Amino acid sequence: MQSILLKNLSSVLLVFVLSACAGSQQSNQSNSVPASGNENEEEYQIITLLPRDAIPAIDDPSFLSAADADSEYAPEELVLGVAFNGDARAYSTSFLSSHEIVNDTVGGQKIAVTW
């Protein structure tokens, strides 16, 4: 009778230990779920490549005449166009890619062109 009790007790202990391990593993997995609670989302680390203000803004832009711009740029080149009070400017997106911000005055209005 004592050996049957020991076998049953050891079986109960084995089940207890296995369920404790399974519970521990489940709690570790729940810690890896993103803060939003969506299990399908991945967590991403933000990596800063450049320090703050590493890309200088253009504060005093210069422009080509329309005739010079026609010979300098291809007709399909993308530009951002702005017109205020009869004054117009075109900012080349390929040029903006290396500066990202142009501070300018167009038609008496101060503007910031961003890309």
d(CA 104, CA 90): 11
Predicted pLDDT at 17: 39
Predicted pLDDT at 102: 95
Predicted pLDDT at 65: 92
Predicted pLDDT at 39: 67
pLDDT tens digits in sequence order for the chain, 115 residues long: 444 433 443 443 344 434 444 444 444 444 444 556 666 778 888 888 888 878 888 999 999 998 999 999 999 999 999 999 999 999 999 888 888 899 999 999 999 999 8
d(CA 91, CA 104): 11
d(CA 20, CA 6): 21
Cβ atoms 64, 91 nearer than 8 A? no
Predicted pLDDT at 13: 39
Predicted pLDDT at 62: 93
Instruction: Return the closest-CA partner of residue 79 out of 65, 67, 90, 64.
Output: 90
